[in-house]
Structure 1
Amino acid sequence: MSKVRNHAEDRLRTHLMKRHKVKDRGSGLRRFPSADLYGRYGLYKVPAVAGWCSAHASA
């Protein structure tokens, strides 16, 4: 699931960089940190572990 989360962060950050005309990737990472993507821009936090993986762990 972390691949999905990383991809979503990357796509949103790329969109924001184009929208705000930020050309340098390093500047984009500093200007749009992960905490802002989730807090300010409302990106959904995908769970790190799928729910079905631990559903029957005690059995």
Structure 2
Amino acid sequence: MRRTTEGWRQGIQWTLILLLDDLDYADDIGLRASRNQDIKQKTQQLALVSGSTLKRLRS
């Protein structure tokens, strides 16, 4: 998950200096953003990162 969202300043403004970007649950990932386009980009990036991770695990 860190590789998916690193370098991004997108999320929901939680406090004056903190952004709520993602939530990690035991078996789920909850992505947060204030714009629909940001969620689409995060989802696409997550698919790319998870695909490369699966390739490394299988080889």
* Larger helix fraction of residues: 1
With the shorter chain as reference, the TM-score category is: 0.3 to 0.5
Is the radius of gyration larger for structure 1 or structure 2? 1
